[in-house]
Chains A and B, each alone.
Chain A
Amino acid sequence: DAMVIQNPRYQVTQFGKPVTLSCSQTLNHNVMYWYQQKSSQAPKLLFHYYDKDFNNEADTPDNFQSRRPNTSFCFLDIRSPGLGDAAMYLCATSSQQGSAKNIQYFGAGTRLSVL
C-alpha cells in the first residue's frame, strides 16, 4: 500500500546531540509537512515543502532544519536538542491533484526522547 513511513518510531538522543528524523512516501505527493506534537496537545506545524520550496512557520526555532533531497524523502534535523524538544514528530503529505486533493496523509510518527 502507498503510504507515509517514518523512521525510526522511537529515537533517544542526548541533550545537545544532533539528531535526524526521516520520512519517506510512496504517494508521489508534492507537499510534505513536519509537525511537532507534545503530550495531550494538537500537532503544531514546523514547516512544509511545496515541491522544492521550503516554507518555515514564523515561530519555528532555528534549531529545527529540514531537507528534501527528492520527492519521496524529507528529513527533520534538530541541531542541538533540548529537553523541551522531546515530543512526537509527525510527517504528512498532500497533493494538489486528484480525488484526494489537499487531504493530508500522516505517518505513524517518531517519538523523540532527550536525555
Chain B
Amino acid sequence: GNSVTQMEGPVTLSEEAFLTINCTYTATGYPSLFWYVQYPGEGLQLLLKATKADDKGSNKGFEATYRKETTSFHLEKGSVQVSDSAVYFCALSDRGYSTLTFGKGTMLLVSP
C-alpha cells in the first residue's frame, strides 16, 4: 500500500533560518505529491504540489522537488518567519480522483 514518511518534529528554528522538512513516500505508479499546512486551530491549506518527476512546486517562499529516484519530496524555505509556525503534512495521491495518503505531520516552531 501507499505510505508517506516525514521527519519527526518539532522542528525549532530561529527567524530567518533555513528550513528543510524531509518527506519520502512509497507508492505504486506515479503519484501526485503535496504539502499541506495546518495553522493552530484551523483546517489544512494546500501549500504546494507536484504531479510528475522533477517538477518543482513552490509557494510563499517554500519549495519542494519531486524526486522519483529517491522517492522524496522534501520541503525547503530559505528564510523562515514566525508566521510560518504550523504543522506541515506531506501527502500523496495515486487514485484517479485524489484520495490522499498523509504523513504524520511535522510541527515547525519559529522563534523571533
Interface of A with B (CB < 8 Å)?
A: 4, 6, 31, 33, 40-43, 45, 48, 50, 90, 92, 94, 96, 102-109, 111
Contacts and interface: CB of A to CB of B under 8 A. Distances in A.
Contact of B43 (A45, A102, A109): A109
A73 to B, nearest CB: 17
Interface size grouping (class) on chain B: 20 to 34
A107 B43 contact: yes
Contact of B103 (A42, A50, A107, A109): A42
Given A90-B44, A103-B49, 5 more contacts: A6-B43, A43-B100, A92-B44, A102-B32, A107-B43
B98 A42 contact: no
B42 A109 contact: yes
A40 B105 contact: yes
Which secondary structure characterizes the binding site on chain B?
A: strand
Contact of B44 (A6, A41, A106, A111): A106
B99 A45 contact: yes
Interface in B25-80: 32, 34, 36, 41-46, 49
Nearest to B103: A42
A90 B41 CA distance: 12
Contacts of A50: 97
Nearest to B6: A42
Contacts of A102: 32, 93, 97-98
A105 B93 CA distance: 14
Contacts of A104: 46, 98, 100
